[in-house]
Amino acid sequence: MKLYFNIPKTLYPFYRAELDTAKQLLREGKLQECWRHYERAHILGQRYPLQHSYVHWQMLKFGIKIKSTKEVFGQITRLVFGGIKSFVGTVPIGNTGGANVPPLKPMEIPDDLQEILNKHS
Protein backbone atom coordinates (compact mmCIF):
# COMPACT_ATOMS: atom_id res chain seq x y z
CA MET A 1 0.00 0.00 0.00
CA LYS A 2 1.32 3.45 -0.93
CA LEU A 3 0.79 6.25 1.58
CA TYR A 4 0.28 9.74 0.21
CA PHE A 5 1.44 12.82 2.10
CA ASN A 6 2.40 15.88 0.08
CA ILE A 7 1.15 17.03 -3.28
CA PRO A 8 4.03 17.11 -5.80
CA LYS A 9 5.55 20.57 -6.14
CA THR A 10 4.88 20.60 -9.89
CA LEU A 11 1.21 19.63 -9.44
CA TYR A 12 0.45 22.18 -6.73
CA PRO A 13 0.30 25.26 -9.03
CA PHE A 14 -2.45 23.63 -11.13
CA TYR A 15 -4.42 22.74 -7.99
CA ARG A 16 -3.93 26.26 -6.59
CA ALA A 17 -4.98 27.88 -9.88
CA GLU A 18 -8.30 26.03 -9.78
CA LEU A 19 -8.93 27.24 -6.22
CA ASP A 20 -7.94 30.81 -7.06
CA THR A 21 -10.27 30.81 -10.07
CA ALA A 22 -13.09 29.42 -7.92
CA LYS A 23 -12.51 32.15 -5.34
CA GLN A 24 -12.65 34.89 -7.97
CA LEU A 25 -15.80 33.47 -9.55
CA LEU A 26 -17.43 33.21 -6.14
CA ARG A 27 -16.70 36.91 -5.54
CA GLU A 28 -18.30 37.66 -8.90
CA GLY A 29 -21.38 35.62 -8.01
CA LYS A 30 -20.77 33.11 -10.80
CA LEU A 31 -21.74 30.14 -8.66
CA GLN A 32 -21.95 27.38 -11.28
CA GLU A 33 -18.59 28.29 -12.75
CA CYS A 34 -17.10 28.57 -9.26
CA TRP A 35 -18.33 25.08 -8.36
CA ARG A 36 -16.81 23.60 -11.52
CA HIS A 37 -13.39 24.85 -10.43
CA TYR A 38 -13.83 23.41 -6.94
CA GLU A 39 -14.57 20.08 -8.61
CA ARG A 40 -11.45 20.38 -10.76
CA ALA A 41 -9.33 21.24 -7.71
CA HIS A 42 -10.83 18.20 -5.98
CA ILE A 43 -9.78 15.92 -8.84
CA LEU A 44 -6.23 17.30 -8.77
CA GLY A 45 -5.84 17.24 -4.99
CA GLN A 46 -7.83 14.20 -3.93
CA ARG A 47 -4.83 11.91 -3.48
CA TYR A 48 -3.22 14.25 -0.95
CA PRO A 49 -4.81 14.55 2.53
CA LEU A 50 -4.30 18.28 3.16
CA GLN A 51 -5.32 19.40 -0.32
CA HIS A 52 -8.24 16.96 -0.40
CA SER A 53 -9.56 18.15 2.94
CA TYR A 54 -9.04 21.79 2.01
CA VAL A 55 -11.19 21.47 -1.13
CA HIS A 56 -13.94 19.85 0.94
CA TRP A 57 -13.67 22.74 3.42
CA GLN A 58 -14.15 25.19 0.54
CA MET A 59 -17.09 23.13 -0.74
CA LEU A 60 -18.61 23.15 2.75
CA LYS A 61 -18.35 26.95 2.91
CA PHE A 62 -19.90 27.13 -0.56
CA GLY A 63 -22.78 24.91 0.61
CA ILE A 64 -23.36 27.22 3.57
CA LYS A 65 -23.27 30.28 1.31
CA ILE A 66 -25.90 28.86 -1.05
CA LYS A 67 -27.90 27.45 1.90
CA SER A 68 -27.79 23.87 0.61
CA THR A 69 -28.43 21.45 3.48
CA LYS A 70 -27.56 18.52 1.21
CA GLU A 71 -24.17 20.02 0.32
CA VAL A 72 -23.37 21.02 3.90
CA PHE A 73 -24.06 17.55 5.31
CA GLY A 74 -22.38 15.89 2.34
CA GLN A 75 -19.24 17.95 2.85
CA ILE A 76 -19.11 17.34 6.60
CA THR A 77 -19.04 13.59 5.90
CA ARG A 78 -16.40 14.03 3.22
CA LEU A 79 -14.29 16.20 5.53
CA VAL A 80 -14.31 13.48 8.18
CA PHE A 81 -13.34 10.63 5.84
CA GLY A 82 -11.74 12.18 2.75
CA GLY A 83 -8.33 13.00 4.18
CA ILE A 84 -7.99 9.54 5.70
CA LYS A 85 -8.87 7.87 2.41
CA SER A 86 -6.29 10.07 0.64
CA PHE A 87 -3.60 9.15 3.14
CA VAL A 88 -4.01 5.42 2.50
CA GLY A 89 -4.51 5.85 -1.25
CA THR A 90 -8.09 4.62 -1.53
CA VAL A 91 -9.83 7.59 -3.12
CA PRO A 92 -12.26 7.08 -6.00
CA ILE A 93 -10.16 8.60 -8.76
CA GLY A 94 -11.85 11.34 -10.76
CA ASN A 95 -14.67 11.84 -8.26
CA THR A 96 -15.66 15.50 -8.29
CA GLY A 97 -16.31 15.67 -4.53
CA GLY A 98 -19.76 17.24 -4.36
CA ALA A 99 -22.75 15.90 -2.50
CA ASN A 100 -24.42 15.47 -5.90
CA VAL A 101 -22.26 12.39 -6.63
CA PRO A 102 -21.75 9.20 -4.60
CA PRO A 103 -18.62 9.68 -2.46
CA LEU A 104 -17.04 6.36 -3.47
CA LYS A 105 -17.80 6.49 -7.20
CA PRO A 106 -14.78 6.71 -9.53
CA MET A 107 -15.43 9.08 -12.42
CA GLU A 108 -13.85 9.89 -15.74
CA ILE A 109 -11.18 12.57 -15.47
CA PRO A 110 -11.39 15.44 -17.99
CA ASP A 111 -8.65 15.11 -20.61
CA ASP A 112 -6.82 18.30 -19.64
CA LEU A 113 -6.67 17.28 -15.97
CA GLN A 114 -5.60 13.76 -16.88
CA GLU A 115 -2.72 15.20 -18.87
CA ILE A 116 -1.69 17.34 -15.88
CA LEU A 117 -1.90 14.35 -13.53
CA ASN A 118 0.11 12.17 -15.91
CA LYS A 119 2.90 14.76 -16.07
CA HIS A 120 2.97 15.90 -12.45
CA SER A 121 1.86 13.08 -10.15
Q: If we measure between CA atoms, which residue out of 80, 101, 36, 81 comes closest to residue 62?
A: 36
Report H helices in 1-121: 12-27, 31-45, 49-65, 69-87, 111-120
Q: For each of the chain's 121 residues, which pLDDT tens digit applies?
A: 556 678 999 999 999 999 999 999 999 999 999 999 999 999 999 989 899 999 999 999 999 999 999 999 999 999 987 777 776 667 888 999 999 999 889 999 999 999 999 999 8
Confidence (pLDDT) at 62: 98
pLDDT of residue 81: 79
Q: Which pTM does this prediction carry?
A: 0.93
Residue 2: its pLDDT value, please?
59
DSSP state for residue 12 in the 8-state scheme: H
pLDDT at residue 82, rounded to an integer: 77
Q: What is the pLDDT of residue 60?
A: 98
Residue 108 has what pLDDT? Answer: 96
